[in-house]
Structure 1
Amino acid sequence: MRPGDDPGGGQDRGAGTGGYARAVGAIAAGLRDAEPAQVPERLCAVAVDLLPVDGASVSLRGDSMPLQLAASGARAARLAQLQATLGDGPCHHVLKTGAPVLARDLADDDCADRWPVFVQQALGTGVRAVYALPLGSTAVCVGTLDLYSGSPGVLSAHQMHVALLLAGVMTGALMDLPHDARDADKGWLSGLAADHDRVHQAVGMIMAQLGVGADEALARLRGDAFAQGVTVLEAAVDVVSHRRRFDSR
């Protein structure tokens, strides 16, 4: 089904006040009894249920790269990790601008020109459209909600409203986490921080090995990860564990 198509008769599925209310009810039902750490993944699942998309992922802004927080499934998780590894893709554009990116058909020349490697890889997984929405605002964008569809097309006005509602709920959930969810021993945020630290440590080691700056070292790490078919975090772990060096020794 193409995003925006109605499965039963040509009008926007669930459009109107009643449809919006049903979306709010579905979000509430999906989050019922959820622990703070479960909210992002639950919302990704709700997004797939409410919208004509096949997958959803959420990533948080990091100093050097976005950090994947949750996904609706393995393919969505892989696409989020791919964008982090490449340093390219709709997610990165949203993080730079704070504005949504609605790539209605990745097979179009303009998408291939903007994100050549990401587009090639995404099309290879069967994804044809990506809708990336900011978490936060244009002034303060804390992350992205990325929606993936196997069919090209646009989101209708109602579907876009629902997608923005989901992004708003996701932002609120991240901002309003109780303090115990941030506890170093309990919180999922501590795991993300540890992942981020490993990447920074690997970048520092590559800088020392090659005598290059931080941007060059991160580019080398990303290129190595892509060449090996692993995530940038997995490549960083190899560097930190001394299983991979970037000099001749």
Structure 2
Amino acid sequence: MAVDAVRAVDVIAEVVRDAKPGETPARLCAAAVKLLPVVGASVSLRGSGMPIRLAASNSLASFLAEAQTTLGDGPWLHAYRDGTPVLACDLTAGRDLHRWPVFARQAAAVGVRAVYSMPLGSDDGLTVGTLDLYRDTPGGLTEDELRRAQLVAAVMTLALTTLPREESGSGGEEAWLAGLATEHDEVYQAIGMVMAQLGVDAEEASARLRARAFAQGRTALEVAHDVIAHRERLDGD
């Protein structure tokens, strides 16, 4: 049964009701799964050379968000760069498979056949990240489904840019958005260490970190942990 715009707004309102600021992105990912023919959703912001995964609806969505981070490629990158939705409707064959062959194989390995990436942006054309939607069968979105996906992305953008600060457990005030990305602070620290070790800029250091992670079949975050702990050096890559 078709879900009209009013119903979509009602679902979003119900899902985020009484949510603390830091809980809102994950709840909006859950709303996307309720409203669309998808099995998972994740939200990422663009960081220094790689996206920062803020929230995901489940472990599958989290895994594929991290996979795109590690590869430095995927539908999210094109949605972010172009500021328009990217609909990879069939990762098992044709144009989408050839466009992102490594990511497509990783997605297919966990049962995902299509990915829809919605840019998160403002009225001035600035794109700050993406809402990524994962489907277990090939296929596109209907016009109504695309409108619903864009509605969730618009609410997500509003949440990320306007939600108030909340009190932290230590009694001080902490930006809720920064708190969501705490684990990725280690990625930035690792990038800084690689920059110092190799005398390269942030983009090159990020690329080397991703390359090491891909070569070892790990995530960029896992490699960053080892770089900080001095268990891993990227010299000579």
Normalised by the length of structure 1, the TM-score is 0.85
Structure 1, unpaired ranges of 5+:
1-12
| Offset at residue 107 of structure 1 (A) | 1.4
Distance 1:193 1:50, change over 3 A: closer
Mapping 1:92-241, distance limit 5 Å: 92-137=77-122, 139-180=125-166, 186-192=174-180, 194-241=182-229
Distance 1:115 1:55 in 2: 19
Letter in 2 for 1:143: G
Deviations 1:156-179 (A, max 9, x none): 111111111111111111111113
Name 1:246's counterpart in structure 2. 234
Larger Rg, first or second structure (1 or 2): 1
1:75 to 52, 60, 74: 60
| Offset at residue 208 of structure 1 (A) | 3.6
Deviations 1:116-152 (A, max 9, x none): 2111111111100001001114821111110000001
Name 1:9's counterpart in structure 2. none
Q: Tell me the secondary structure at the aligned position of residue 205 of structure 1.
A: helix
Letter in 2 for 1:77: S
| Offset at residue 187 of structure 1 (A) | 4.0
State the percentage of identical aligned residues.
Answer: 55
Name 1:6's counterpart in structure 2. none
Distance 2:226 2:20 in 1: 33
Does structure 1 conserve the Cα–Cα contact (< 8 Å) formed by 2:53 and 2:181? no
Letter in 2 for 1:150: D
| Offset at residue 197 of structure 1 (A) | 3.9
Distance 1:128 1:162 in 2: 20
Letter in 1 for 2:104: V
Structure 2, unpaired ranges of 5+:
none
| Offset at residue 24 of structure 1 (A) | 1.1
More deviation, 236-245/223-232: 223-232
Distance 2:187 2:213 in 1: 12
Q: Tell me the secondary structure at the aligned position of residue 59 of structure 1.
A: strand
Mapping 1:40-79, distance limit 5 Å: 40-79=25-64
Aligned length: 233
The alignment yields a C-alpha RMSD, in angstroms, of: 2.2
Does structure 2 conserve the Cα–Cα contact (< 8 Å) formed by 1:37 and 1:181? no
Does structure 1 conserve the Cα–Cα contact (< 8 Å) formed by 2:83 and 2:119? yes
